């Protein structure tokens, strides 16, 4: 029986090609097979070995669990055929990336696996908006969360009780989150920063309040991340960039 290959779960980062780690880029250049997420950009795939087989395993939130089972099988099957397999995930593999299920499948099959971290979108969004998620005397705790639930689970997930909230896969779900926070007593003027297509050429940044977020957002054309909390209040002399000015035109009050 041929020796089993090794699988690397690699974080692609938030989107921009030059935000992947050096180790991640090196592995892409060496890989025999790359199974990549739907949100991985074409520019990122340019870093792959030109002889590598590229397998799209696009999967967005809310999909049925059978889709993940298919991905798990693809990983195992390819590791039984090729020495170096990369599973390329948007952001960081260990943050909302279904890594637990993929690790279990590979370990159960006796396949060696290594995880290569990536920049999670929350940190890239904080950098893009120049808004720290923590602030002395204002915010000492941060929670990353998503309202998405598995198909077999109904209802909303609990909103974490922290100073700064970062909601992944926000969009319409963030509107409901804002209303729930208001119902729980959060100040209507609490700052909110919404980032669409973080770190990409079509990145858009929108600044508003929880009260205005609860009234709605314009249509989004890419992945959305929402950050809420007093730490996101703009500094007195903080400049506004072009991405923010454009996004304001798209806001629906």
Do both 131 and 108 map to the same domain? no
What is the model's pLDDT at position 250? 46
Do both 136 and 213 map to the same domain? yes
Tokens of 113: 């696996």
CATH number for position 133: 3.30.950.10
Confidence of residue 18 (pLDDT cuts 50, 70, 90): very high
Do both 131 and 246 map to the same domain? yes
What is the model's pLDDT at position 70? 94
What is the model's pLDDT at position 156? 61
Q: What is the DSSP string of 230-249?
A: GGGSPPTTPPPPHHHHHHHH
Residues 198/168, Cβ–Cβ less than 8 Å: no
Q: Is the pLDDT confidence value at 64 over 90?
A: no
What is the model's pLDDT at position 60? 58
What is the model's pLDDT at position 246? 46
Do both 220 and 130 map to the same domain? yes
Do both 91 and 31 map to the same domain? yes
- The overall average pLDDT reported for the chain is 90
List the Cα angle 173/200/174 in 5-degree steps: 10
Domain-located, residue 1: no
Do both 63 and 159 map to the same domain? no
Confidence of residue 238 (pLDDT cuts 50, 70, 90): confident
CATH number for position 29: 3.40.1010.10
Domain-located, residue 175: yes
Domain-located, residue 220: yes
- What's the total number of domains in the chain? 2
What is the model's pLDDT at position 153? 52
Do both 139 and 204 map to the same domain? yes
Specify which of 13-22, 165-174, 213-222 reaches the highest per-range mean pLDDT: 13-22
CA 236 to chain centroid, in Å, comes to: 30
Do both 82 and 157 map to the same domain? no
Do both 161 and 45 map to the same domain? no
What is the model's pLDDT at position 249? 36
Q: Is the pLDDT confidence value at 65 over 50?
A: no
Do both 147 and 214 map to the same domain? yes
Q: Which residues are tagged catalytic?
A: 37, 59
Query: What beta strand segments (E) does 47-150 contain?
Result: 53-56, 84-89, 112-116, 142-145
How much is the CA Rg of the chain, to the nearest whole Å? Answer: 20
Domain-located, residue 93: yes
Domain end point (choices 52, 85, 116): 116
What is the model's pLDDT at position 170? 87
Do both 143 and 94 map to the same domain? no
Domain-located, residue 153: yes
Q: Is the pLDDT confidence value at 191 over 90?
A: yes
Q: Is the pLDDT confidence value at 185 over 60?
A: yes
Domain-located, residue 107: yes
What is the model's pLDDT at position 237? 73
Q: Is the pLDDT confidence value at 243 over 80?
A: no
| Residue range 193-218, pLDDT digits in tens | 999 999 999 999 999 999 999 998 87
Range of the domain at 132: 121-252
Do both 106 and 143 map to the same domain? no
Domain end point (choices 61, 83, 116): 116
What is the model's pLDDT at position 253? 32
Domain end point (choices 88, 116, 144): 116
d(CA 170, CA 166): 9
| Residue range 45-63, pLDDT digits in tens | 999 999 999 999 976 555 4
What is the model's pLDDT at position 154? 53
User: Average of pLDDT values for 142-152?
Assistant: 76
Q: Which has the higher per-residue pLDDT, 65 or 16?
A: 16
Domain-located, residue 47: yes
Domain-located, residue 36: yes
Q: Is the pLDDT confidence value at 93 over 80?
A: yes
User: Average of pLDDT values for 164-173?
Assistant: 92
């Amino acid at each position: 029986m041929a020796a089993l290959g090794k699988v690397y779960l690699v974080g692609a980062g938030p989107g921009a090609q030059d935000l992947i780690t050096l180790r991640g880029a090196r592995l892409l250049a060496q890989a025999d097979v790359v199974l990549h997420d739907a949100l991985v950009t074409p520019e990122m795939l340019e870093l792959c070995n030109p002889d590598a087989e590229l397998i799209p395993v696009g999967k967005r939130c809310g999909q049925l669990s059978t889709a993940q089972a298919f991905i798990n099988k693809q990983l195992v099957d390819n590791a039984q055929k090729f020495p170096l397999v990369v599973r390329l995930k948007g952001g960081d593999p260990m943050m909302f990336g279904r890594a637990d299920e993929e690790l279990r499948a590979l370990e159960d099959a006796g396949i060696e696996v290594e995880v290569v971290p990536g920049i999670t979108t929350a940190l890239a969004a904080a950098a893009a908006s120049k808004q720290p998620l923590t602030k002395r005397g204002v915010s000492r705790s941060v929670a990353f969360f998503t309202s998405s639930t598995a198909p077999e689970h109904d209802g909303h997930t609990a909103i974490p009780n922290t100073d700064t909230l970062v909601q992944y896969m926000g969009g319409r779900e963030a509107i409901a989150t804002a209303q729930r926070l208001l119902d729980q007593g959060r100040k209507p003027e609490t700052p909110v920063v919404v980032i669409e297509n973080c770190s990409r050429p079509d990145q858009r940044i929108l600044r508003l309040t929880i009260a205005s977020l609860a009234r709605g957002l314009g249509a989004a054309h890419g992945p959305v991340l929402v950050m809420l909390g007093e730490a996101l209040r703009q500094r007195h002399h903080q400049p506004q960039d072009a991405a923010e000015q454009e996004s304001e035109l798209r806001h629906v009050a």
